[in-house]
Structure 1
């Protein structure tokens, strides 16, 4: 409202310390770069409004234990090795206040699997703005990332510091021994599977046809939106429709047809049709009918029995031409039913 002063609440830093490179030291503060919009639920006992809470309980006596009386312990077999929180602070490298860049690397050389969480780095005071700006511009111009380690909340992190926009960002990285070997973890890796030139060409064509500009604003968490709608519906006594079932896996036999139908659906077809498709189109060429109308005319001549002989990929291709809504999540039987209904209505 006019005349009112808007008060902006600044985020609190999650860590403060010194970022150093060479003999230059820059006092900085670390801020979370992301936030979660996940709906958080309380635990209740079914049939009641009674909260169910987690308690710190002595498993021998069953009595609750105050937080100050809890220490950390490592099972050493016959006994526990007890460690006090302050002892962990005492052994933390640099007393948890040092973020020392050990070297600069090309960010492209760091595999994306190593990236974990992102933070913003800001100077701790206006008197350090020049040093901050100098490091930011040098890293932006060289397109390098500074690799460092530091300790926060009793845990040591490997990080990459880089220039992003007009700020320095810090990305926590996984340690090398934390990254699993896919050959040991994933069964049935494709290995040297046989792929024909035709399949490869069509698959690449599909990727090209579906290529878009990256715009994160175009994407949003629909599951959380549906969760909130569910909560609102329950408050008002309404019901919410269930989500569509996931699409069926593509049969290897139908792979080429599925690829071709996908390319056509994405608008990336080359215009070349198979003999069967060309025959259908030539019969509908008179009067300048489009390919879509020619396909629709072919569908109108199809009976439910004829449709039942087609593969799911062929059915999907016809459903795309007929602009049947929700086709991507339909089963084969649902595609047959939908196409039969469309043919009946057209007739």
Structure 2
């Protein structure tokens, strides 16, 4: 059995641990005791994950709490909405809470983002704990304190920075995920290698099959290395004024693809990210800051594992260049009408590239065969 890994997100008095390993939920009382003892707790999950784990988890930690309640929201990206946020806030307020109440997000990225934003809002901020059940959430969205919901105008445009008190990443929970969900999470793992650790990317090229087969040594290592890299970047730039932007490699493209699909479930976040990674390398080559062989290597790996590597390979509907660019203009990194992209000098070395014009981006998309209108 893999040993339990512990990573600290170093934010001075707001530092918190990430525990990574198999069967952690079975020992949840041990890991959570310091954070929930003699406090009111509300566990929030969704209609898929809740029936699997809420019951046993509740029994495990109930003796520690003064009161424990369970809530569920509909599964899926649609729950990252103003209406779902409002409903959940009202349900929690109707239970009755105080500033010592702890919310626990038990689920994937949607649950973590939603519950984190609710925790940031209620009583101007209460504690919450992340228990991510998807691979994508374990390696990315549960770490770093970004919380929020989607707007009609775009993804994650309403939210707050609110750090959890603890992240419990139980790799055994990944066994219930469909292959497509695992692949979606794997795309974010690949991102870490591409943005800052060429050696890790090389390791993934050799070990991806064992990672996706959930061999414990490999999956724990992949989750740990991803969390390590994110924790290090977040500790240096919590609110994304500098290097934290590198974590958005592939995401300016990806968020536009998701907005085109209206978050209806046809396109998973990791699928959009994978296509975005391929395009980020292609755009870097087009700008002559990256060698073509690096881009070819990225495309080859994405295709080998079964992820889309380009906009044309996405399983969802397509849009014209003008529509994609309009969505990209709503990206949080955009400034004064120009776009900022995270591009690459090579595998393992991402860079911030500001002042990308609409004309330059249109030319790139046209060369990729995307319709202009």
TM range (shorter): under 0.3
| TM-score scaled by length of structure 2 | 0.20
Bigger RCO (CA 8 Å, 6+ sep): 2
Q: Identify the structure with the greater helix proportion.
A: 2
